[in-house]
Structure 1
Amino acid sequence: MGPVILVLFLVGWVNFGPVSLGGSSVYLVTSGISMEPRFHSGDLAVLRPASTYTIGEIVGYHSPRIGVVLHRIIGETDGRFIMKGDNNDFVDTYHPAPSDVVGRLVWHVPKVGELVSTRTGRDVSLAVVGLSMVGLVGVPTARDRRRNRDRRRRETRGDGGSPWRRPLNTDASWGVLGVPGQAMAAVLIVLALLALVVGADGFTHTRTSRVATSTPYQQQGVWSYSAPASGTVYPGHVATTGDPLYESVAPIVAVRFAYSLTSAVPTSLHGSASLVGILSASDGWSHVFILGPVTPASGSTLTARGTVNLLQINQYLAGIAAQTHLGIGSALTYTLAITPRLTVNGEVGLQRVTLAPFSAPLSFNLFPTEAELVVNTPTSSLTTVTHPSLSGVLTGSTTVPTRLTFAGLHVGVTRVRTVVVWSLGVILLLLIILGLAVRRARRAPEYAQIVSRYGDVLVNVRTPDDWGDVPATEMNSIDDLIRVAEFQGRLVMHSEDDEGHVFFVRDLAQTYRYRPASDRRGPDAVGSRAPASESNRGESSVAPRVAEGST
Structure 2
Amino acid sequence: MMGKRGWLAWAGVIAFLIALGVFFFPARLGGEMYYVILTGPSMEPHFHVGDLVLARRAPFYQPGDIAIYRHPRIGFVFHRIVGYDAEGRFRFKGDNNAWEDPYHPRPDEVLARYAARIPAVGKVLRHLRSPWVITALVVLIGLLLFGDWLRVGPDEEEENFVMPRGDTLYDWMIAFAVLLVLAVLLGVVAFTRPKVVQAQEPISYTETVAFSYTARAPEGLYDLPQVQPGEPIFTQLTGTITVGCTYRFTAAAPFQLEGTYRLLARVSDATGWKRTLPLTEPTAFQNGTFTAQATLHLEDMRRFIDEFEQITGRRGTYTLAVMAHIETHGTVGGEAFQETFEPMLRFRWNGNALVLETSGGVPLGEKAPDPLHIVRQNAIVHTVPRVNTLLILGAHVPVPLARTVSVVVGGLALVLLGGALYYEHQVVEGDPVAQIRLIGGVTTVPLDALPHHTLPVVEVGSLSDLASLAALHRAPVFHLREGEQVHFWLKTPDVVYHYGAEGQARVPQHARPLLPRPRFLRWKAAPVGGACESVLEEWAQTVDSQVVHDAGHSQRVARLAVALGKALGLSEPALRDLRLAALLHGLGLIEIPPEIVQKTAPLTEEEKRILREHVLRLNVRFESVEALAGALRIAYHRTERWDGSGYPDGLRGEQIPLGARILAVVDAWDALRHNRPHRAAWPESAAASFLRQKAGEWYDPRVVEVFLNWVKASSATGLEQPSSTAGAPAVEDEDDEATPAA
What's the TM-score bracket when you normalise by the shorter of the two chains?
0.3 to 0.5
More helix as a share of residues: 2
- TM-score for the superposition, normalised by structure 2: 0.38
More strand as a share of residues: 1
**Higher RCO, Cα 8 Å, sep 6+:** 1
Q: Which has the larger radius of gyration?
A: 1
- TM-score for the superposition, normalised by structure 1: 0.48
